[in-house]
Structure 1
Amino acid sequence: MAPEQSNPFIKQLASSDRRIRERALSALRTYLQQTPSLGLTSALKLHKGLYYCMWLSDKPRPQQQLARDLADLLHVLKPDSFLVFARAFWQTMSREWNEIDRWRMDKYLYLVRLYVQEVFVYLRQKTWEAGLVEEYVGIMEEFGLNVRDGKVPNGLRYHVVDIYVDELDKADEKDDAPLEVLLAPLRRLGKESPVKSLRERVQEGLDDPRLEDWAGRRELGAESEEDIGGEEGAAVQSAGTLAHVDADSDDDFGGFED
């Protein structure tokens, strides 16, 4: 998006008039649906406007709806824009997190939760495409689950750690998510973070019983497939044996005696 196109969105998204903000968000949604690809600079400008759109939203119910609307923008993007848009979101949250006051923190916590959830839903809808998952994991290693970069606030890290398994659990309906790849940045943070309390928090997340349940269900599913394959093979072998016996019997049979 060219600067002259993005600036009106930013100004309107940050308007003090709720109706103007709502119209701007609707127009942005339409624009994103029609835009083949976004550059990072443009995506960052848009996220700055979206950040202030949330900043200016008051009262819990409108805030919750706005958070859902912002996270849902991921699903209207063209494929070439998804990773750029996701990176811009995390870069914006990392930059602005320490500026969020305690009266506004809850709505941003909710926004981040929904964003994590909808990214997982998006990846699931793309059948957990390996390259896409790996690139997104790289973004998380750079921002939300970054190990040492001082530009990423620990408050954001703690929150992502707290919600990561929850939101993955909700999205992984068929138990087919590539868990080891998706959990890799979490494991790395738990091993390499210089902050002891953060390492401990990560370990609590990795000790979540649901991860054991996932592993158990996957093993059971694999065993079931092996059993089914074995049963099918046995059935084929048995059918072949019976056919052979029938053929031998036909050779020996000389007909009924008169």
Structure 2
Amino acid sequence: MAADERNMPFIKHLASSDRKTRTSALGTLRTFLTAPTTARKLTDLDYLKLWKGLFYSVWMCDRPIPQQNLCAELAGLVATLPTPSDDECAVVIPFLRAFWATLAREWTSIDVLRMEKFLLLVRRMFGASLAWVGDGRKGKKGNQWAGIRAESMLQLLEEWPFEKTGDLSKVPVGLRLHVLDVWVDEVEKLELLAEEGDENARDRSSQFLDRLRTIVEAQSKSTCKPVRTRAKESLSDERLPWNSDGLADKGNNRGDGDSWDGFED
């Protein structure tokens, strides 16, 4: 059963024009989501309602520093969500699925003056998502960058930002392009490209990265030319191991024009 909206009154306050009201509502939301019994009772629709409120919380936030802090705070929720022992993904994956669904739905309505903060939000959420996979039972044999967290996250990425059918009505071009812009940066930050460390851990991270590569490669076959171009450019990034080892697919190095430099933080 979906959570009664009377038990989530903070949702409407997330979109308040008053900063203090928004800040208070975000604190209430954090407490609400970190309660294991509460979070597991939420439905997909409940998470969509939460993210609609959070979307407008970002929309209403002015000035660069508060915007950066808010994006970091929202991304930080991923690490604090409950991970029940019987199903580590029961809360995090629905929460993130609602994030991607909300951003995809609202993307084309974001005006140019507000776009930069939403670009930052996407980057932070993508990075936090990968970090959550990497923290999965860290230090316990065989689970970091492998297991249910890794599999569920890869499936989610293939379902939303790297949606492989090329359905631009589901995931708009601009959102696809931005995720293609940032994914290599974020895997580098998590040291997935590092050559040092435990051999078993490197093997698991390499397997995760190879799966991610396959998902991005599907974008290089998109019917949308800018998406094809950006996917190939990202796959030919010299930081990626298959390029530094001289193993890059030559097809990934072919540009087909209309280059777009994207946005930075």
**TM-score category, normalised to shorter length:** 0.7 to 0.9
* Greater Rg over alpha carbons, structure: 1
- Alignment check: 8 A CA contact 1:13 1:20 kept: yes
Task: Flag the 1:213–1:195 CA change in 2: closer, same or farther, 3 A.
Answer: closer
Where does residue 181 of structure 1 map in the other structure? 211
In 2, Cα distance between the equivalents of 1:204 and 1:91?
26
Matches within 5 A, 1:151-230: 151-172=170-191, 175=202, 176-177=204-205, 178-191=208-221, 193-212=222-241
Q: How far does residue 6 in structure 1 lie from its aligned partner after superposition?
A: 5.4
Indicate the larger mover: 37-46 or 109-118.
37-46
**d(CA) in 2 for partners of 1:146, 1:84:** 17
Within 2, Cα distance between the matches of 1:7 and 1:160? 31
CA distance in 2, matches of 1:85, 1:183: 24
Count of matched residue pairs: 215
- SS of 1:208's equivalent in the other structure is coil
Q: Percentage identity across aligned positions?
A: 40
Go from structure 1 to structure 2 and tell me whether the alpha carbon gap of 1:213 and 1:185 turns closer, same or farther (over 3 Å shift).
closer
**Which of 157, 168, 193 is the equivalent residue of 1:140?**
157
CA-based RMSD of the aligned residues comes to: 1.8
Counterpart residue type for residue 11 of structure 2? I
Distance 1:194 1:213, change over 3 A: closer
- Closer, same or farther: CA 154–19 of 1 in aligned 2, 3 Å: same
Q: 1:101 to 1:130 in 2, by over 3 A?
A: same
Counterpart-to-counterpart distance in 2, 1:5 and 1:180: 45
1:181 alignment partner AA? R
Unaligned runs of 5+ residues in structure 1 are: 217-258
2:93 aligned partner: 83
Spell out structure 1 runs of 4+ moving beyond 6 A.
Answer: none
Q: How far apart are the structure 1 equivalents of 2:69 and 2:180?
A: 24
Tell me the residue number matched to 1:254: none
Segments of structure 2 that go 5 or more residues without pairing to the other structure are 84-89, 137-143, 246-265
Cα gap change, 1:53/1:6 in structure 2, threshold over 3 Å: closer, same or farther?
farther
- Cα deviation for residue 108 of structure 1 reads 0.2
Which structure shows the bigger proportion of residues in helix conformation?
A: 1
Q: Distance in 2 between matches of 1:67 and 1:102?
A: 18
